[in-house]
């Protein structure tokens, strides 16, 4: 029997996953449970926090039938960010949580980003010179304007779940640095910054203590142990944002190695020894994962979600998803690179990088009567690949070399998609043995936390194994350059129209009410 079981928990957009590993990184067991998201016409995307806890119970109940959960030596978790929970003074939710993709705070984002104060500009310098509707700061400003915050707290998803596990209310330095405008060498939070943007005193409603990734949060309480089947007293160690912890779970911590976490959205992350300032990227973030490592971030908001849309629209009656993917892969191989003139824009829920445009939407351009659903599917895969290439070019524009991509997450199961991304970018893509890099990264943190490894980086190097590699077809890479140029031009041409359409839609909603 393995000496130490390590539990990694990953709260994604659509489901919660658990992975149990041994101290060498071998996956012993994985389970999952889903929860719903309520999307409304006005851009709200909400979840019930109790569904997260129920999903954890369900996933661990499934695992309990195969493995003694009381043998788990330590655990950690990662989660979407910023998915925020408004609670009462006893940390019980008083409203549905705002998911990371929720767009209700677009007005707050615009106000902060257009604030002329030097205080604001100096603080935003360390977040890509902008804030985002996805972040704790903008969501908190919206909450302040719509709720009485007296005796209330605003927690992130990871904070609330750690509280449910341990009874401790703490925040992760990973989340605070990347989403809460926390800058360590500038004394953390800036009261002056918050005052100028209308959030004076907001830190009283956030967790008071901020822990580094790998620090001990607390221990599983008696009540949580009874609900989950864990051993009371099991140590819980601080994790962070799901994609960022995925860097640990995919061994993508070296400068020059781009971590690409694939899922509902894509996140592109890379370490650098020095702070690099580029207003088209997010960051530079000071040591959110590893000390003395600056993190730069790019991302795409709509990726796996577009594929889910396609499958729902064209294959809603299918009961065999694997057969659907086999059919699609077989058919799109018959279609040449470029999808016979069909170009799709991938910003269906706004653009994160490089345009930072919450008004961006999707578009189909070049559609003809000769195109089939297979052309649409291939063009979707290509459009997301173009979005990734656009992020990589943004890194390169700051003289940041991208030598290879290390990909994790559910999208890596789609080999055809990975090959298209390799062909479009002209870069090799390495795929770890464990594709669920969130649970793996969390388990690696737990291994470090209980003292099995001296550093998180060392634990990642020892516990992660690379399984496969995709190499680009450089002839296709050359052909895709022309299509990529069309993609860029279409973005620039259509963004103003997209904003008009979105604003007009919002006005029509107001008239209807």
Establish if 398 belongs to a structural domain: yes
Q: Does the pLDDT of residue 263 top 90, yes or no?
A: no
Tens of pLDDT, residue by residue over 492-509, are: 999 999 999 987 764 443
Q: Which long-range contacts (CB under 8 A, 24 or more apart) does 322-326 make?
A: 325/414
Q: Does the pLDDT of residue 163 top 60, yes or no?
A: yes
- Residue 345 CA to residue 325 CA, distance in Å, equals 22
- Do 192 and 325 lie in one domain? The reply is no
Mean pLDDT value across residues 211-222: 98
Token pair listed for 63: 């695992």
The set of residues, in sequence order, having a beta carbon less than 8 Å from that of 72 and lying 6+ positions away, is 5, 6, 7, 20, 230, 231, 234
Establish if 148 belongs to a structural domain: yes
Give 12-69 as a DSSP string: -SSEEEEEEEETT--EEEEEEEE---EE-TTS-EEE-HHHHHHHHHHHHHHHHTTS-G
- Residue 193 CA to residue 178 CA, distance in Å, equals 16
- Do 235 and 360 lie in one domain? The reply is no
- Do 508 and 412 lie in one domain? The reply is yes
- Do 273 and 244 lie in one domain? The reply is no
The CATH number of the domain where 412 resides is what? 3.30.420.40
- Do 420 and 361 lie in one domain? The reply is yes
Q: What is the pTM of this model?
A: 0.86
Residue 385 belongs to domain spanning: 268-434+469-512
Establish if 92 belongs to a structural domain: yes
Establish if 74 belongs to a structural domain: yes
- Do 226 and 367 lie in one domain? The reply is no
Domain end position, chosen among 249, 280, 310? 249
For residue 41, the model assigns a pLDDT of 73
Establish if 257 belongs to a structural domain: no
**Domain tally for the chain?**
2
- Do 239 and 274 lie in one domain? The reply is no
Give 89-109 as a DSSP string: TTS-B-SPEEPTT--TTHHHH
Tens of pLDDT, residue by residue over 359-410, are: 999 999 999 999 999 999 999 999 999 999 999 999 998 888 899 999 988 8
Domain end position, chosen among 217, 249, 281? 249
Establish if 462 belongs to a structural domain: no
- Do 159 and 301 lie in one domain? The reply is no
Mean pLDDT value across residues 157-176: 98
Tens of pLDDT, residue by residue over 282-335, are: 999 999 999 989 999 999 999 999 999 999 999 999 989 999 999 999 999 999
- Do 243 and 313 lie in one domain? The reply is no
Is the N-terminal amide bond of 493 cis, ω within 30° of 0? no
- Do 195 and 332 lie in one domain? The reply is no
Q: What angle do CA 299, 302, 304 make, to 5 degrees?
A: 105
Mean pLDDT value across residues 217-229: 98
Write phi, then psi, for 491 (nearest 5 degrees): -60, -50
Establish if 457 belongs to a structural domain: no
Tens of pLDDT, residue by residue over 357-373, are: 989 999 999 999 999 99
Q: Does the pLDDT of residue 511 top 70, yes or no?
A: no
- Do 207 and 294 lie in one domain? The reply is no
**How far apart, in Å, are the Cα atoms of 76 and each of 6, 122, 425, 453?**
9, 34, 34, 15
- Do 307 and 386 lie in one domain? The reply is yes
Query: Tokens 């990371």 appear where?
Result: 100
Domain end position, chosen among 215, 249, 283? 249
Establish if 315 belongs to a structural domain: yes
């Amino acid at each position: 029997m393995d000496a130490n079981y390590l539990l990694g928990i990953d709260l994604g957009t659509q489901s919660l996953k658990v992975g149990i590993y041994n101290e060498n990184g071998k996956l012993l067991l994985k389970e999952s449970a889903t929860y719903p998201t309520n999307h409304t016409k006005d851009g709200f995307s909400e979840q019930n926090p109790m569904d997260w806890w129920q999903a954890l119970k369900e996933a661990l109940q499934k695992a309990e039938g195969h493995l003694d959960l009381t043998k788990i030596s330590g655990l950690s978790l990662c989660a979407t960010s910023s998915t925020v929970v408004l609670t009462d003074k006893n940390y019980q939710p008083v409203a549905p949580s705002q998911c990371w993709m929720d767009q209700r705070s677009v007005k707050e984002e615009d106000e902060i980003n257009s604030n002329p104060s030097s205080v604001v500009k100096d603080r935003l310098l360390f977040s890509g010179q902008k804030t985002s509707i996805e972040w704790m700061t903008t969501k908190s400003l919206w909450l302040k304007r719509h709720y009485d915050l007296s005796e209330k707290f605003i927690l992130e998803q990871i904070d609330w779940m750690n509280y449910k596990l341990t009874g401790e209310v703490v925040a992760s330095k990973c989340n605070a640095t990347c989403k809460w405008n926390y800058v360590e060498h500038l004394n953390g939070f800036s009261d002056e910054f918050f005052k100028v943007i209308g959030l004076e005193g907001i830190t009283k409603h956030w967790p008071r203590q901020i822990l580094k990734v790998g620090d001990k949060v607390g221990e599983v309480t008696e009540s949580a142990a009874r609900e989950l089947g864990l051993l009371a007293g099991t140590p819980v160690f601080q994790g962070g944002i799901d994609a960022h912890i995925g860097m640990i779970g995919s061994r993508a911590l070296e400068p020059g190695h781009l971590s690409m976490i694939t899922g509902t959205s894509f996140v592109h992350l890379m370490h650098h020894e020095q702070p690099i300032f580029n207003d088209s990227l997010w960051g530079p973030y000071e040591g959110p994962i590893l000390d003395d490592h600056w993190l730069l971030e790019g991302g795409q908001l709509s990726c796996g979600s577009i594929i889910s849309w396609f499958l729902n629209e064209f294959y809603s009656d299918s009961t065999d998803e694997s057969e659907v993917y086999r059919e699609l892969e077989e058919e799109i191989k018959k279609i040449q690179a470029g999808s016979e003139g069909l170009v799709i824009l991938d910003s269906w829920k706004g653009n994160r990088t490089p345009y930072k445009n919450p008004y961006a939407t999707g578009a189909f351009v070049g559609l003809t009567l000769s195109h089939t659903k297979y052309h649409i599917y291939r063009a979707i895969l290509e459009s997301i690949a173009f979005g990734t290439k656009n992020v990589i070019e943004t890194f390169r524009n700051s003289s940041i070399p991208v030598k290879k991509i290390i990909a994790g997450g559910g999208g890596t199961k789609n080999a055809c998609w990975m090959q298209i991304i390799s062909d479009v970018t002209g870069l090799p893509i390495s795929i770890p043995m464990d594709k669920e890099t969130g649970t793996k990264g969390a388990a690696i943190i737990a291994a470090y936390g209980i003292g099995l490894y001296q550093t998180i980086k060392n634990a990642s190097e020892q516990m992660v194994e690379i399984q496969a590699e995709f190499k680009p077809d450089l002839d296709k890479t050359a052909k895709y350059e022309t299509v990529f140029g069309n993609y860029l031009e279409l973005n620039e041409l259509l963004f103003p129209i997209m904003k008009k359409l979105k604003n007009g839609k919002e006005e029509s909603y107001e008239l209807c009410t």
